[in-house]
Amino acid sequence: MSTHAPLRTPKGPTTMPTPPPLPPLAGTTTGPTALRPLIDTVLTALHDGAHRRDGPLPAGGPDAVTPHTRTATHPLIPDHGTGPHHALRTLVTALTEGAADPADPLCTAHLHTPPLALATAADLAASALNPSMDSWDQAPAASALEADTTAALAAEIYPHQPTPDALITTGGTESNQLALLLARERNGPVQTICATNAHHSITRAAWLLGLPTPLTIPAPNGVMDLTALHQALTHHRHQPLLVTATAGTTDTGQIDPLTAIADLCTTHGAELHIDAAYGGPLLFSPTHRNKIHGLDRAHSVTLDLHKLGWQPAPAGILAVPHRNHLTPLHHQAPYLNADDDTEAGLPDLLGRSLRTTRRPDALKIAVTLQALGRTGLADLIDRTLTTAHHLADLIDKTPTLDLYDHPTISTVLFRPTNATDTTVATIRRTLLTRGHAVLGRARAHNRLWLKATLLNPHTTPHHLHTLLDLVNQLTHDLAEGNTPR
């Protein structure tokens, strides 16, 4: 007889645990229904976080902001998820509360634009649809829209050329790197010539591409010295040369003498690249486009619409006068651009960037261009530059403040009269730490200056007075020996 207990037959079917519901996707016909309540949660969090911050940036500096953010968002990877609305509400509120908000008129430090609501809404659609711009079968309509948008922008820069073209980039740094790469592919190891006012990405691009270190000539008044350029071009005439000029420097916003530089390049047989990341959009303003006259004489032009174009980053452009200038970027990957697919008529997108997967950033640009048109963009640009000149006039009339110069675009440098560089730096950091204002810093004529980069067309004279009052009051407190907190 067996001593083992008999096997028991289970009564009824075995109950299996119910799997959690799958998170909804953003696309297809059901995506918008899933997105709608989530977007409402995000908008509420943006609103609440901004009210909690109540200013251009959070008070307390890194010692306060970092632990507060970490406490509010901990744990970032829980064992069991908190759910979409809780996660969105928690993290978006924390990020907004701790943001430096470029839409606040007292946030004026950098070329950090407040994005237009319509461009931001378009960016949501780009994220929901998620086209990848490296093959046509991932982006059928988006690839056509990008091609038309870049061609239209290139025609604005090169209006007299039959086949200008442009690429979408992540910004000025990538555009400048591509410009040097294309010059190298046309001419071999080019010697770059730039001025001391050039963006740091020029030197970095030369290093990255294995090119000679750029020859840097003086910019004694903030712009490229033409005599020094002539001497450099003459001295190095036996090698391929690429001059890089700047239309809107990051420190003072000044514009190199583009036409005179182009003339010298023509005389000496050098190529010309113009970094117009900041100043390029002046093309859309009949009032100010004369400041960048000569742009169309460059072999390549950098332009950023996430600066004076009010786009969410990134929205960079590299334009060339002839489409075939981009041919060296062609690249073959059979799973993306097989020869027989291309021959059958599928557009080859892989040569439109050094990146593979990339977003359809042309959508927000196209929406903005169509919604505002040339006149709408011109109005935003003109308002912004008028505001910058108004700030300069206010500083000029304030006996306790010194103005560096009236702005070329929308950058205004100033400093308290008779202040030391240490005091200027302390004023800037104190305003940051208190959460009162975001001002930049720039060195010009061997002195440190406070930098206001005006990019917000909603800024009013009241905001400008408030900014200057904050600087004057803090300067007075420091002179009285009050220690900033």
pLDDT at 48 over 80: yes
Contact criterion met (CB below 8 Å) for 455 and 112: yes
| Rounded average pLDDT over 418-447 | 97
Q: pLDDT tens digits, residue range 193-231?
A: 999 999 999 999 999 999 999 999 999 999 999 999 999
Closest CA to 229 of 268, 172, 190: 268
Q: pLDDT tens digits, residue range 232-286?
A: 999 999 999 999 999 999 999 999 999 999 999 999 999 999 999 999 999 999 9
pLDDT of residue 73: 96
Contact criterion met (CB below 8 Å) for 244 and 178: no
pLDDT at 167 over 70: yes
Tokens found for residue 204: 């970095």
pLDDT of residue 1: 47
Which comes out higher in pLDDT, residue 182 or 20?
182
pLDDT of residue 482: 75
Pairing of strands 447-453, 411-416: antiparallel
pLDDT of residue 11: 58
pLDDT of residue 485: 59
Q: pLDDT tens digits, residue range 299-354?
A: 999 999 999 999 999 999 999 999 999 999 999 999 999 999 999 999 999 999 99
**Whole-number mean pLDDT of the chain?**
96
pLDDT of residue 268: 98
Region of residue 271 (left: phi > 0; alpha: psi -120 to 50; beta: else) = beta
| Rounded average pLDDT over 406-432 | 98
469/475 Cα distance (integer angstroms)? 10
State how far the alpha carbon of 224 is from the alpha carbons of 22, 216, 413, in Å. 59, 10, 19
Closest CA to 326 of 366, 299, 304, 344: 299
pTM tops 0.85, yes or no? yes
pLDDT of residue 7: 52
Q: Burial-class residue 201 by CB neighbours within 10 Å (0-12, 13-18, 19+).
A: buried
Q: Residue 483 — very low, low, confident or very high, per pLDDT cuts 50/70/90?
A: low
pLDDT of residue 481: 82
Contact criterion met (CB below 8 Å) for 153 and 170: no
